[in-house]
Amino acid sequence: MAKGKFTRTKPHVNVGTIGHVDHGKTTLTAAIATVLSS
């Protein structure tokens, strides 16, 4: 049986970060994700 069509209700964003080790990339990405999820 076919499943119903999936409709995305939230915007979808891919974020790519580049930078040196220990310069806060993970912290920045977590902060952006927290703000966008609320």
- pTM beyond 0.85: no
Give the pLDDT confidence score for residue 16 in this predicted structure: 85
Condensed to tens digits (0 to 9), the pLDDT of residues 7-31 reads: 888 888 787 889 999 999 999 989 9
What is the torsion angle, in degrees rounded to the nearest 10, for the CA atoms of residue 34, residue 36, residue 11 and residue 2? 30
Calpha distance 25→35 (Å, rounded): 16
Half-sphere exposure (CA, 13 Å, Cβ side) for 23? 5
Give the pLDDT confidence score for residue 20 in this predicted structure: 94
